[in-house]
């Protein structure tokens, strides 16, 4: 009987040891796979995680939909993918990518730093059904600009009837494209640039991150252009199942991501500067104001519909008006 008890004890200790040593799996989306900047950032994060008592196993994906499905199937304990898609797991953090909500890098850095601050810890933990999720980090990918086939297409009304590639899971994009009279062409992040390059669509929105690797210049040809006005700031969320990580892990992780922001924004600025000037078309002040008002109106409606988080919209407006105090919206209510 004593032998049996000892054997049971050894087995229990071994199983507990295995549980402690089990590596949480984090599935990472990057269009460029392991060679991309997002994956490299997560590699640095996984090294830092060891100092917080956790050994992470990263799995690289170039298909964002597959990350989402594998996470839902329990194959990942966490994921890193665009905030637009991650919004379904945490609306507060996912709303940082609201249309026109973050019009430049300075505002983006302020907004991300605020969101990841410990005062927002409770907002970064969410329940969806029976599952609990925690936002453990937000990474900057960069402002998305409009790329058009015809460089003369620089006013809102000129988009009427034009085919515009949108991400099929983002209701905000579909509503905005329909509002300006363009034709939304449902796409995924893995093929929306290809549709532009193969002349299946006339317009696409993308950050500088995608310009060189996805060869957007092919789609622009001799007549195309990048409208130098950011319509949305693209970020990525790191979301985990907190029960798979040590207590306090999320706060350590968020603090680490904040420290990486200066380096991330320097990378974004470098990539934006590398886009040849010949492709860039600046908007007149009149056109910029027109776009800002259009995006603001749609953003308010989307918030009322429950697509965006109202608290986040207030945060973003404060960030915008701290940086640009003379902006027309700073004297207006509604957000």
pLDDT along the chain (335 residues), means of 10: 44 40 89 94 97 95 96 97 95 95 91 93 94 97 95 85 93 91 92 96 95 95 94 96 95 97 95 96 87 93 95 92 86 84
One domain, residues 111 and 148 = no
Q: How many domains does the chain have?
A: 2
In this predicted structure, what is the pLDDT of residue 17? 38
One domain, residues 211 and 238 = no
Helix (H, G, I), strand (E, B) or coil at 144: strand
In this predicted structure, what is the pLDDT of residue 238? 98
One domain, residues 220 and 253 = no
Beta bridge partners of residue 187, listed in sequence order: 167
The sign of the torsion formed by the CA atoms of 130, 69, 111, 308 equals negative
Report the CATH number at residue 200.
3.40.190.10
In this predicted structure, what is the pLDDT of residue 284? 85
In this predicted structure, what is the pLDDT of residue 154? 77
- DSSP state at residue 240: E
Query: Of 273, 293, 321, which one is at a domain's C-terminal end?
Result: 273
In this predicted structure, what is the pLDDT of residue 109? 92
One domain, residues 159 and 217 = yes
One domain, residues 28 and 44 = yes
Beta bridge partners of residue 57, listed in sequence order: 25
In this predicted structure, what is the pLDDT of residue 16? 42
One domain, residues 30 and 117 = yes
One domain, residues 254 and 124 = yes
Annotate 240-261 with b (16+ C-beta within 10 A) or e (fewer): bbbebbeeebbbbbbebbbebb
In this predicted structure, what is the pLDDT of residue 325? 85
Query: Of 242, 273, 304, which one is at a domain's C-terminal end?
Result: 273
One domain, residues 128 and 257 = yes
3-class SS shares of the chain: helix, strand, coil, % to 5: 50, 20, 25
One domain, residues 131 and 57 = yes
One domain, residues 110 and 177 = no
In this predicted structure, what is the pLDDT of residue 78? 98
Report the CATH number at residue 82.
3.40.190
One domain, residues 162 and 220 = yes
The predicted model scores a pTM of 0.89
Helical spans, DSSP H, in 151-210: 171-179, 192-197
One domain, residues 96 and 45 = yes
Annotate 51-76 with b (16+ C-beta within 10 A) or e (fewer): eeebebebebbbebbebbebbeeeeb
The burial of 90, by beta-carbon neighbours within 10 Å (0-12 exposed, 13-18 middle, 19 or more buried), is given as buried
**Which domain range does residue 243 map to?**
2-141+234-273
Query: Of 273, 298, 322, which one is at a domain's C-terminal end?
Result: 273
């Amino acid at each position: 009987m004593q032998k049996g008890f000892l054997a049971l004890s050894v087995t229990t200790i071994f199983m507990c040891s295995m549980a402690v040593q089990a590596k949480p799996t984090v599935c990472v989306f990057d269009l460029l796979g392991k060679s991309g900047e997002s994956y490299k950032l997560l590699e640095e994060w996984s090294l830092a995680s060891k100092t917080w008592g956790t050994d992470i196993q990263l799995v690289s994906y170039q298909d964002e939909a597959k990350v989402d499905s594998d996470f839902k199937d329990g194959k990942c304990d966490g994921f890193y993918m665009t905030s637009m898609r991650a919004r379904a797991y945490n609306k507060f953090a996912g709303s940082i990518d609201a249309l026109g909500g973050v019009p430049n890098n300075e505002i983006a850095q302020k907004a991300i730093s605020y969101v990841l601050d410990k005062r927002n810890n409770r907002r970064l933990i969410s329940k969806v059904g029976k599952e609990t999720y925690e936002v453990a980090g937000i990474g900057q990918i960069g402002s998305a600009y409009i790329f058009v086939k015809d460089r003369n297409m620089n006013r809102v009304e000129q988009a009427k009837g034009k085919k515009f590639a949108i991400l099929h899971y983002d209701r905000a994009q579909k509503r905005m494209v329909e509002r300006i009279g363009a034709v939304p062409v449902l796409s995924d992040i893995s093929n929306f640039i290809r549709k532009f390059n193969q002349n299946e669509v006339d317009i696409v929105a993308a950050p500088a991150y995608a310009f060189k690797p996805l060869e957007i210049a092919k789609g622009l040809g001799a007549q195309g252009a990048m409208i130098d006005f950011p319509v949305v700031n693209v970020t990525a969320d790191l979301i985990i199942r907190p029960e798979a990580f040590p207590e306090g892990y999320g706060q350590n992780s968020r603090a680490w991501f904040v420290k990486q922001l200066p380096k991330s924004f320097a990378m974004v600025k470098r990539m934006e500067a590398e886009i040849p000037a010949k492709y860039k078309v600046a908007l007149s002040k009149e056109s910029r104001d027109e776009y800002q008002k259009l995006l603001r109106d749609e953003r308010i409606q989307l918030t009322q519909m429950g697509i965006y988080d109202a608290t986040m919209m207030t945060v973003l407006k404060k960030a915008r008006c701290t940086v640009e105090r003379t902006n027309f919206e700073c004297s207006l209510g509604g957000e």
